[in-house]
Structure 1
Amino acid sequence: MNVERMIGRIEKLAKCSRSMRGVTRLSFTEESEQANRLVAGWMQEAGMQVRWDALSNIIGRYEGTDPDARVLLIGSHLDSVAEAGKYDGILGVIAGIEVVHAMHESGIVPKNPIEVIGFCDEEGTRFHTTLLGSRAIAGALREEDLQARDQEGVTVAEAMQAMGMEPDHFRQAARNPQSILGYLELHIEQGPVLEEFDQSCGAVTGIVGQSRYEFRVEGQAGHAGTVPVRIRRDPLVGAAEMIQAVERISLENEIVVATVGKLVVHPGASNVIPGMVEGTLDVRSLHDGTKQRVLFAMIEEFHRIAKRRGLVCHFRSVMESPAVICTPQFVETIEAALVELGMKPLRLVSGAGHDAMAVAPITNIGMIFVRCREGLSHHPDEYASPEDILEGASVLLNVALHLTT
């Protein structure tokens, strides 16, 4: 395994960015096309045949001794959030290429073919829709998903057309589940557990389910200097109490995490009592039943607070995704690889979504987490050390060889 090669490629991909600070690489843009061209070249160097599917997922295939055997997929995503770090998603793609490159250089040809995939639009930053590329491969993408718009009003379909693609062909990206052996994804942890245990890598047992809502609290706007506080119907004060309720209920149910991540105040003037507040509520847990119970408790509390303050509260569901459990056989194989490389068989839960959760309905899945400094991600200071990257790629190679030879 060549860690210098991996680091060099990560650095080159970081330059495919719209922003000077961190990495901003949105789907169906010149930056994403530039990244795809680099990845295609590296796949070819590793001995793979390269193709793009109908959603611009880039796929490198390393043929096995039995080309009719089921294929092992290894992948992650190539897009980013705004002003992101260098490693989120990218590390999984680069490590997958390195696994095949190491096999190719050593003359190892597995029985099963291996395909490395760089998925498009996992983050959903541009169109506010997540996992487009991996959902397409799983056959779960819908025609209406291509009508989502970015902030300029451009739809996914229009962005695809601008890149020379045929949006109507998106169903051609779907894979036959019977042709797939399984899916592996290596990813930075995006959390502090591996640092806490002083270990480079761990085995992921599952990915939390997510409920994402938008809410609107309506009150009565008024003059900031003339309306007494005691008779105001201020939706911002109400929203503040609601956010505290989210924290309180979350602390009472520790297997659930909940976040109000966005708040917009209308009209947003310093001398006007707000008339409306819009926000987002994100609730996650590996236990779907508990997540739903806690979510409903929060919504009920929002309505109670609103009624007491003379406000009106509305909710709209934006996303519902169930928890995903990684295939036990794959988890055990990853744990065995950890032990073989001198590490403990540490198990982790992913609190973030990944392409693996979209692929899970059609095949077995396994995930390897790699330590990142201070658990920091979605930030320009995101960092994984060369030593940890090498350890993670070595675990991935060990598992891939076990599954395909």
Structure 2
Amino acid sequence: MSINRERLKQHLEELAEIGKIGETGVCRLAHSKEDRQAVEIVKGWMEDAGLTARIDGFGNLIGRLEGSEPELPILILGSHIDSQPYGGRFDGTAGALGAIEVVHSMKENGITPARTIEVICFSDEEGSRFNKGIFGVRGLAGMIEEGELERKDKQGMTRREALKEFGVEPDLSKSPVYQKGDIAAFLELHIEQGPVLENVNKPVGIVSGISGPIWLTVTLEGFAGHAGSVPMKMRQDALLGASDIITKFDRLVKTEGTDTTVGTVGSMQVFPNSRNIIAEKVEFTVDLRDIDLEARTRLEEKLYKIIEESAAEYKLKVDIKEDTRSEPRYCADWIKAIMKEEDGKLGLDSPTLMSGPFHDALIMSYISDYGMIFVRCEKGISHNPLEFAEMDDIEKGVQLLYKTALRIAQG
């Protein structure tokens, strides 16, 4: 009993056409018209697989297959289908479409699971549009924060407005949807988004845990002046202050971080953004992650000190807003054990590795045991149109997902 490789390949290729940029890139921002178009076509594939599908008030696409023993805690499979603005074809989609393929293959193989199975394409995992991700899964888990529906994208549209344009009426009173005990396990397959599997020449990996991310937005405010007339010693240059902080942050992570620490400044806005005006206001993002919570906490404290000292040196006002904070979350030992057993039967000899990026599984871990499977991607490239995973590798990963899901679904 195996999955249908050609059907999965066709689905991946068809979905990649929605929001396509260039030859291999994808742009399907959360709650956009491209996102809605993708949700509609994937909803049809869910229904073909025997799932009853619906779109909830958070924008999640949820397919449900009733089990023969509906009183049992359910099994959830899934990932996401939204993308970065300059993204690739496999991030999220390999896991979301792979989960649908698992259920479709069960149906074709005449298997009725004991547990009810839900397949979920979670809304806005990426967080690129509203600068705060894993939205849909947090809605299901009861972790939406105050004011989130009023967060704005770069065009000034709020998430509330975007969801309505997407076609749903957001209703936070329905959160949480699941309580602890409702879910037996959550399984997610994802491309690795890193180089470890390629370096060890393995198609598939079993994940041990997910690094905990901190996302900050730092705003520095100085004073605008003519670039030609204000003496250097009299300036309150917000961009210079930001540059100082970013350089010192990079040095801090490289010299005092662990092997699993990563720090990134990936977005910056400068006002008034003119070549002959001293920058008055700069806003930039900070992304700090580690699987080691103690190490991350130590670096976070030093980062705050760097920001404080640089702001004082350049005579700048500073504001720090925390957008996301999560501790590292570890995969359930019993799920990893099942994966290892099934992996051995498939002859994959998959290594165990950690996840630096966060995933929907990070939030699911607060309400359910979870397990993750990684699929090798070329040169570890992701969040880039050059992102690529071989179909042979995806097939092996989804086959392991299928075998693991079968074991858990039958109680």
Q: Does 1:354 align with 2:356?
A: no
1:26-41 superposed matches below 5 A: 26-41=29-44
Distance 2:137 2:33 in 1: 21
Residue 191 of structure 2: aligned partner: 188
2:16 corresponds to which of 4, 14, 25: 14
Deviation at 1:164, TM superposition (A): 4.2
Secondary structure at the counterpart of residue 7 of structure 1: helix
Instruction: Write the letter of the residue equivalent to 1:206.
Output: G
Instruction: Write the letter of the residue equivalent to 1:366.
Output: G
Distance 2:240 2:149 in 1: 38
Residue 298 of structure 1: aligned partner: 303
Q: Residues 150 and 243 (structure 1 numbering): CA distance in 2 closer, same or farther, change over 3 Å?
A: closer
2:312 corresponds to which of 287, 292, 307: 307
Q: Does 1:387 align with 2:376?
A: no
Cα contact 1:335–1:346 (8 A) shared by 2: no
Q: Percent same amino acid at aligned positions?
A: 38
Q: Does 1:92 align with 2:95?
A: yes
Q: Residues 47 and 210 (structure 1 numbering): CA distance in 2 closer, same or farther, change over 3 Å?
A: same
Deviation at 1:160, TM superposition (A): 3.0
> Per-residue displacement from partner, 1:13-69 (whole Å, max 9, x unpaired)?
112217556222123333222222221221222222223333232222233222222
1:2-401 superposed matches below 5 A: 2-17=4-19, 19=21, 22-142=25-145, 144-168=147-171, 171=174, 174-229=177-232, 232-251=235-254, 252-254=256-258, 255-401=260-406
Normalised by the length of structure 1, the TM-score is 0.92
Deviation at 1:375, TM superposition (A): 0.8
Cα contact 1:202–1:348 (8 A) shared by 2: yes
Deviation at 1:221, TM superposition (A): 4.0
> Per-residue displacement from partner, 1:325-346 (whole Å, max 9, x unpaired)?
1112112222233232223341
Deviation at 1:87, TM superposition (A): 0.8
CA RMSD of aligned residues (A): 2.3
Q: Identify unmatched segments of 5+ residues in structure 2.
A: none
Normalised by the length of structure 2, the TM-score is 0.91
Distance 2:16 2:224 in 1: 46
Moved more, 106-115 or 268-277: 268-277
Distance 1:156 1:262 in 2: 19
Cα contact 2:126–2:134 (8 A) shared by 1: yes
Moved more, 258-267 or 128-137: 258-267
Distance 1:237 1:355 in 2: 36
Q: Residues 18 and 127 (structure 1 numbering): CA distance in 2 closer, same or farther, change over 3 Å?
A: farther
Distance 2:32 2:283 in 1: 30
Instruction: Write the letter of the residue equivalent to 2:5.
Output: V
Distance 2:286 2:330 in 1: 24
> Per-residue displacement from partner, 1:159-184 (whole Å, max 9, x unpaired)?
33334433236516712432211100
Moved more, 373-382 or 334-343: 334-343
Q: Residues 286 and 16 (structure 1 numbering): CA distance in 2 closer, same or farther, change over 3 Å?
A: same
Secondary structure at the counterpart of residue 362 of structure 1: coil
> Per-residue displacement from partner, 1:81-110 (whole Å, max 9, x unpaired)?
113111111111111111111111111222
Cα contact 1:55–1:170 (8 A) shared by 2: no
> Per-residue displacement from partner, 1:261-316 (whole Å, max 9, x unpaired)?
22333333323333343322211111223212201102212322343444444422
